[in-house]
Amino acid sequence: MAAPAPDAWIKDATDQSFMADVVEASRATPVIVDFWAPWCGPCRQLSPPLEKAVKAAGGKVRLVKINIDENPAIAGQLGVRSIPAVYAFDRGRPVDGFVGLLPESQLKMFVDRLAGGGAPGDAGGAEEAIAELLAQADESLALGDLGGAAQAYATILSVDPEHVKAIAGLARAYLASGDAARAEETLSLVPDDKKSAPEIVSVRTALDLAAQAAEAGDAAPLLAAVEKNPNDHQARFDLANAYVARGDLAKAVDQLLILIEKDRAWNEEAARKQLLKVFEAAGPTSDIVKAGRRRLSAILFS
């Protein structure tokens, strides 16, 4: 018997057919429900990549689309207040969902997770999606989009709870937002056999540095003091520590390098010693470290 065509995995449903098309159908195959409306622009954006991900799953998951303008009852019962709203049903009950748009890589992970690990012949598809999502998360973190980064890292961890880079990234996002307690809590997710991973060691160092720098104070008045007197070395050193305390290692490196350039011997080379600790916190492969080491070499050997 021939396998059903991909379009057979996607269908429209109504309030009246919901029990059969979604609840009962999900007892055999997981079903994704897409609540949409013709006037909804984001719904039109979500539809193509969502359908693509469902077709790529090769029949391991089905997609049911419900126009809430014509079928408001089920959406109301489920508490749908904004669209697009997506619910996943498995074994007759809702098990997952999201509201709004998601990047295509996250959509693929959402579908693959429901399908149980990806489409036939697509081994490694989930791994590719995770790698793409991790790159996006790292970029968001570097650009200061802490919310976007945290969401992306959390999505990875929903699929792979022991993903070391995602744990480290999420901890860094919390630290950068000033929430050291949640960063510490996130690190507790690391399995014992992975606690020595370079990414985890770097974040641990960053947390320790932040705790040590907590007494540096708010960055704003320290920055004002440095701008008023560029040769106020103590204020600049404290400013660097204030940046460390909130996880902004790039700005901390910048201030420490300026101080080293102005007076490398100040306070028994305190700036250089602190800079090396910041490098360890950032991690050896970090762009912050690569750029910082080049600048440090230029200063020391000029």
The domain that holds 15 is classified in CATH as 3.40.30.10
Give the pLDDT of residue 285.
75
> Rounded CA gap, 21 and 7, in Å?
15
**Are 48 and 19 members of one domain?**
yes
**Are 28 and 90 members of one domain?**
yes
For the stretch 28-63, pLDDT in tens is 999 999 999 999 999 999 999 999 999 988 889 999
| Number of Cβ within a 10 Å radius of residue 210 | 23
**Are 87 and 44 members of one domain?**
yes
Give the pLDDT of residue 114.
86
Q: Residue 109 falls within a domain, yes or no?
A: no
Give the pLDDT of residue 5.
47
pLDDT at 4 over 50: no
pLDDT band at 302 (very low <50, low <70, confident <90, very high): low
Task: Look at residue 90 and give its three-state secondary structure.
Answer: strand
Question: Which of 187, 212, 237 delimits the end of a domain?
Answer: 212
**Are 134 and 180 members of one domain?**
yes
Give the pLDDT of residue 127.
64
Give the pLDDT of residue 44.
92
Residue-number span of the structural domain to which 174 is assigned: 125-212
Q: Residue 218 falls within a domain, yes or no?
A: yes
Which CATH number characterizes residue 257's domain? 1.25.40.10
Query: Any long-range contacts for 204-210 (C-beta under 8 Å, 24+ apart)?
Result: 205/277, 205/280, 205/281, 206/172, 206/175, 206/244, 206/247, 206/249, 206/281, 206/282, 207/171, 207/175, 207/180, 207/183, 209/244, 209/277, 209/278, 209/281, 210/175, 210/180, 210/244, 210/245, 210/246, 210/247
* % of the chain residues with pLDDT over 90: 40
Cα–chain center distance at 214: 26
Q: Residue 107 falls within a domain, yes or no?
A: no
**Are 231 and 268 members of one domain?**
yes
Give the pLDDT of residue 244.
87
pLDDT at 16 over 80: yes
**Are 69 and 140 members of one domain?**
no
Among 19-33, 56-70, 261-275, 279-293, where is mean pLDDT lowest? 279-293
Give the pLDDT of residue 118.
41
Q: Residue 120 falls within a domain, yes or no?
A: no
- Please tell me the total count of domains within the chain: 3
Give the pLDDT of residue 47.
92
In 3D space, the residue among 293, 269, 261 whose CA is nearest the CA of residue 280 turns out to be 293
**Are 240 and 286 members of one domain?**
yes
pLDDT band at 258 (very low <50, low <70, confident <90, very high): very high
Residue at 140: amino acid letter: S
E strands of the chain, at which residues?
10-12, 31-36, 62-67, 85-90, 93-99
Give the pLDDT of residue 36.
94
Q: Is 268 left (phi over 0), alpha (psi -120 to 50) or beta?
A: left
**Are 155 and 223 members of one domain?**
no
**Are 139 and 208 members of one domain?**
yes
pLDDT at 1 over 60: no
Q: Residue 192 falls within a domain, yes or no?
A: yes
Give the pLDDT of residue 128.
64
Q: Which residues contact 261 (CB under 8 A, 6 or more apart)?
A: 299
Question: Which of 196, 212, 228 delimits the end of a domain?
Answer: 212
pLDDT at 153 over 90: no
Give the pLDDT of residue 123.
39
Question: Which of 179, 212, 245 delimits the end of a domain?
Answer: 212
Give the pLDDT of residue 2.
38
In 3D space, the residue among 88, 83, 74 whose CA is nearest the CA of residue 38 turns out to be 83
Give the pLDDT of residue 255.
96
Q: Residue 71 falls within a domain, yes or no?
A: yes
pLDDT band at 11 (very low <50, low <70, confident <90, very high): very high
For residue 255, give both structure tokens. Answer: 């201030």
For residue 27, give both structure tokens. Answer: 């007892």
Q: Residue 111 falls within a domain, yes or no?
A: no
Residues tagged active-site: 40, 43
**Are 95 and 13 members of one domain?**
yes
Q: Residue 242 falls within a domain, yes or no?
A: yes
**Are 179 and 246 members of one domain?**
no
Give the pLDDT of residue 130.
74
Q: What number of CA atoms fall less than 13 Å from residue 238's CA on the CB side?
A: 16
pLDDT at 257 over 90: yes
**Are 233 and 218 members of one domain?**
yes
> Rounded CA gap, 208 and 230, in Å?
28
